[in-house]
Amino acid sequence: MKKKYTAKEVRNLILDTASVLFIEKGYEQTSISDIVAGLDGLTRGAVYHHFESKYHIIVGIAKRFIPEQALLDSIDERDDLSGLEKIQMLLLESMFNEDITQSTVISLSLLKDPTFISIYNSQMCEVFVPIIEKYIHAGNTDGSIQVPQPAQMAEIVILLTSTWFIQALFPNTVELFFEKLKAAQYVLKESGVHVISDAVFSTIVQKLTEATM
């Protein structure tokens, strides 16, 4: 290697390089050898030290779209937030956290790839559904949420705040995105878990508008 990398830098280098190749060539057409060839002198052994296989690399890319455990823990530990407010914070951090934004910018086009979308959705559900279910139970207790099926509603929250907005699955324009956001707001409010409150809606609109300016 031309320079000394930390373990985190090596991992990020692998994920960045693989992201570009998966976008350019497709996941199935990209080999570990292709990824190694695109690295700064990194060996195949070093790649396998961090990832067991090509599949684990694409899973690693998908996990970049999810807040790190330290951030999830910091939300969970907030005794001043209701169950609903914790879900709202989780949503906003997932959408606008600076670390997530920086690490995923190179991978955004993968959200058009069927293989990646399947893995992305799987990771989102695996991480977020248990957390959201926990907060729905808390919201039912503190009065901020009123739903009779917390586990099923947690899945609906993920569907309406994540999966439904994936471009490859449900093509969007800017105008349609905000119409869908309004629809998601209505459905969740009527379901008793008002995740996209007017304040959250305004925050999303403001931050997305700033990002496109």
- Amino acid 44 reads R
Q: Global pTM?
A: 0.89
pLDDT(25) > 70:
yes
Q: What is the mean pLDDT of the chain?
A: 92
CA distances from 9 to 5, 6, 111, 124, 179 (A): 6, 5, 24, 24, 40
Are residue 59 and residue 118 in the same domain, yes or no? Answer: no
pLDDT(15) > 90:
yes
Residues 107-121 have pLDDT tens digits of 989 988 888 999 999
Are residue 57 and residue 79 in the same domain, yes or no? Answer: no
pLDDT(1) > 50:
no
Residue at 2 is within a domain: no
Residue at 100 is within a domain: yes
Are residue 76 and residue 59 in the same domain, yes or no? Answer: no
Domain extent for 41: 7-63
Give the pLDDT score at 213. Answer: 65
d(CA 32, CA 27): 11
Are residue 156 and residue 202 in the same domain, yes or no? Answer: yes
Domain of residue 30, CATH code: 1.10.10.60
| CB-CB neighbours of 12 under 10 Å | 17
Are residue 110 and residue 181 in the same domain, yes or no? Answer: yes
Are residue 186 and residue 107 in the same domain, yes or no? Answer: yes
Domain of residue 94, CATH code: 1.10.357.10
Are residue 208 and residue 105 in the same domain, yes or no? Answer: yes
d(CA 130, CA 213): 36
Residue among 125, 104, 24 nearest 60 (CA): 104
Which of 20, 38, 63 is a domain's end point? Answer: 63
Domain count of the chain? 2
Residues 95-153 have pLDDT tens digits of 999 999 999 999 989 988 888 999 999 999 999 999 999 999 999 999 999 999 999 99
